[in-house]
Structure formats: structure tokens, C-alpha cells
Structure 1
Amino acid sequence: YGAIMNLQIEKSSFGDFWIEDDAIYLYTSEQMVDFIKDHLIRINQLTVSFEKIDEHPKQVFKTKEISLVVASERADALVAALTHSSRSDAKDLIRKGYVQVNHIELEEPDKICNNGSVISIRGTGRFTFLGFSRKTRTGRIVAEFLQNI
């Protein structure tokens, strides 16, 4: 992440990325492909090269299923539950650009997440929202997630 930011690229110009044994996958706009290929050539002491691929590679994760009680269906409520923090702290994470939904930075805390949405929270992890399973006696909602481990 630091090497990308060092190129002084706007955060909105690229999405999520992940690292595998011999590859780095980075979601970016069509306009940024050549710039990244030409300028992102070193990460720390390693020489790297990028190439454009047309297929979305399948990322395989080890996961565990978790259930959390949430106050509502809004993204800030889900983020608060996933980070074990207050809803106002979750809104701060969203405002700072630390939360992505489906590899795109979340800008509105009142967004409703769909089943299957991938929620990435910097410093916390990546989760797939499976949906709501039931309501508690007090009317709160139990949300089901797959957590990447």
C-alpha cells in the first residue's frame, strides 16, 4: 500500500489488492494501468512488474463463519460489529477511507450491504456478508459473515 501511495496516486484510482506467493493483484481503473506498469517497479528492495489481465482471478481464502448481533442493516452498523466498536467509531473509519465494499471505498455510512458483499476494513480484515439469520428477543438482528483468516 505504501509503495502505491508513494506514487502520489489518488486513493480513488485503485481498489483492493492482495498478495499471493508469486503475484500481486491490484484493482485499478483502465486509465491507471499503464501508469502503474511504468512507475510501480520497486516495493521495498524488490523489483516488481505488473501486467494487465482481463479475467478476474479467483482468490481462495481460508474462512471461518461468524455471527454478530447488529443494530441495523446499515454498513456502519455492520462495520461497528465487525470492529467491536461504536457506530460513531465505525463512521470515522468510513470517513477516513478505511472501509471498502466489493473493492470500492465506502463513502456513505448509511449504505445497505447486499448478501455476498465483501467488506474490507483496514486493520481488521476482510469479511463476506452472508445475510441476516434471525432477530433476537430485543429486536436486534443476527448477521452472518465469513471471515478471511
Structure 2
Amino acid sequence: MSSIYQHFRPEEKEFIDDVLESIRQVEEKYAPKLMDFLDPREQQILSSLLGKNTEVNVSFFGGTVQAERKRALLYPPYFSVQQEDFQVALFEILYPQKFVVLNHRDVLGSLMGLGLRREKFGDILAKEGRFQFLVAAEMADFVKLNFRQVGKASVQLEEKKLEEAIESEESWQPVQTTVSSLRLDVMISAYAKLSRQKVQTMIKSGLVKVNWKVVDNPAFLCEEGDVLSVRGKGRCKLLSIDDKTKKEKWRITLGLLK
């Protein structure tokens, strides 16, 4: 097995073990196995672990055609996959839009505040003030019962059919700032408004991803277009690296999800 792990990062070992165990179960029981929501990096790992395995197939579905986070269904060749096999529920957040402004991070924070693991819910969809999110169907009753507040706003949930999902406009609110370097710890510090020391600890603990892949090196250099995420803090995108100030600082534009 060590030959498998050497192709991946050490912190991905636990996920790899889960995938290998799921594949083994499908092979032994000759029955489908549904996994949680996976980010694009995890989907890539799962597909590469399956490789040319002819005994187990995989399909991904996150509730919408353009979904980023998707549940994985592992199944034997005889099995005919249906959309309902992925067990995805869709909720819309009802709130007084005239008086309250919500954003992607607010919704993410409230979902995490329920004690849900990130793997149990999928994309957060936003368009013109409307917010929806996708969740594992087995958690739907719990979410419906407990999701009552986003930020300081009281909200209600309305369950929708998947066909009623809005076409999310991934809108990045540009924020211009200056940073001393393009290092990952500097970027996360500027975005999350945390001290460099705290950010470095988070990075070394595997809590930070660049383009959906864990990066544990605080000195990692970021490039234009990189998507940076911090567990529990949402994500941002390095929209542009502009120029240098007279004090040799970089002017950059970060994108925050609205």
C-alpha cells in the first residue's frame, strides 16, 4: 500500500484509506456505496485510485449540473445509476432581503456552526440576493430543525426540488490591499484578518488549501487565479497581482465570495 500513498500528500492518507475501504466493500458485497460530498481534489484522488478497476465504477453528482462539490457513488457494473441514488436535498434560505444582507461566508459559517462536517453539505448557491444550499439527504431533517439564524438574522428554510436550484453566479467581490510578499501565510493573514503566527499554525495543521489541495508550507508562493480556502473561514481568490509600491509591497486584488 505504501506505493499508493507516495503519490499523494501525507494528510490525504485518511481520505485515501476511506476510499480504499469503500472500494473493497463494493467489490465484496457487489452493491453500491454512497460517499459524502467531495471537493474537486478528492474527486480526482478517488478517480485515480480506481484507475482501470473493472469491478467498481464511480459517478459524481452534487445536485446541479455545475456543482463543484459532489457526492460519489461507487457501484458494480450491473448497477444502473439514477439521480435519486445520490440522496441530495436542496434548501432555500428565506430572510428579509430588504433589511438584511447575507453573503457566502455567512451561510457557510452558520452551517458549520450546526456542528455539521463539511462533507455533509455541498455547494452554496447565490443569485441576486437568493441563497440555496445542498445537503446530504440523511441530514435534511436535522438541518431543517436547527438552521434558524445566519449572522444576526433570523431565517427560515424551504425545501426545494433539485430542478428548482438557481444557477449560481459565483461572484467575487474585489478587495484591493497591499501585502509584503506573495507567500501563502501573508495572503491568508490578509484575507482572514488573522495574525501571521496563527495562520502559520493553521497552514502547518493542514487547515489551508490552495486550489482544493492542502498546502502545509507557509512560504508557498501564490499566483494569479489561485483559490485559497481556510477550514471554517470560507475562501477567496487572488484575482490579480497588480504592481509594487514605493516601499516594495505588492498591490493585489483579492476576491471574496459574496
User: Shorter-normalised TM-score: what interval?
Assistant: 0.5 to 0.7
Give CA deviations for 1:46-67 in whole Å, capped at 9, x if unaligned: 6xxxxxxxxxxx9741221011
Equivalent pairs, count = 121
Pick from 104, 107, 113: which aligns with 2:213?
104
Q: Which residue of 2 aligns with 1:70?
A: 179
Q: CA deviation at 1:86?
A: 1.7
Q: Which residue of 2 aligns with 1:82?
A: 191
Q: Confirm or deny: 8 A CA contact 1:128 1:145 kept in the other structure.
A: yes
Pick from 241, 246, 254: which aligns with 1:132?
241
SS at match of 1:37: strand
State TM-score, norm by structure 1.
0.65
Structure with the bigger RCO (C-alpha within 8 Å, sep 6+) is: 1
Q: CA deviation at 1:84?
A: 1.1
Q: CA deviation at 1:115?
A: 0.8
Distance in 1 (CA, whole Å) between partners of 2:212 and 2:178 is 24
Q: CA deviation at 1:137?
A: 3.6
Pick from 133, 139, 142: which aligns with 1:44?
139
Q: Which residue of 1 aligns with 2:39?
A: 26
State TM-score, norm by structure 2.
0.40
Task: Tell me which protein shows more helix as a share of its residues.
Answer: 2
* Cα distance change of structure 1 residues 63 and 114 upon mapping to structure 2, 3 Å threshold: same
Matched, 1:10 2:31: no
Distance in 1 (CA, whole Å) between partners of 2:16 and 2:213 is 8
- Any residues of structure 2 matched to 1:118-129 within 5 Å, and which? 118-129=227-238
Q: Report % sequence identity.
A: 22
Distance in 2 (CA, whole Å) between partners of 1:119 and 1:92 is 16
Distance in 2 (CA, whole Å) between partners of 1:133 and 1:118 is 17
Q: CA deviation at 1:74?
A: 0.8
Q: Which residue of 1 aligns with 2:254?
A: 145
Give CA deviations for 1:102-141 in whole Å, capped at 9, x if unaligned: 1111121111111111111222222111232232343222
Q: Confirm or deny: 8 A CA contact 2:205 2:216 kept in the other structure.
A: no
Q: CA deviation at 1:91?
A: 0.9
Distance in 2 (CA, whole Å) between partners of 1:105 and 1:13 is 17
* Cα distance change of structure 1 residues 148 and 95 upon mapping to structure 2, 3 Å threshold: same
Q: Confirm or deny: 8 A CA contact 2:237 2:256 kept in the other structure.
A: yes
Q: Confirm or deny: 8 A CA contact 2:223 2:238 kept in the other structure.
A: yes
Note the residue ranges of structure 1 that are not aligned, 5 or more in a row: 1-8, 15-23, 47-57
Distance in 1 (CA, whole Å) between partners of 2:177 and 2:16 is 30
Note the residue ranges of structure 2 that are not aligned, 5 or more in a row: 1-12, 19-36, 51-57, 60-71, 75-85, 88-136, 142-166
* Cα distance change of structure 1 residues 138 and 145 upon mapping to structure 2, 3 Å threshold: same
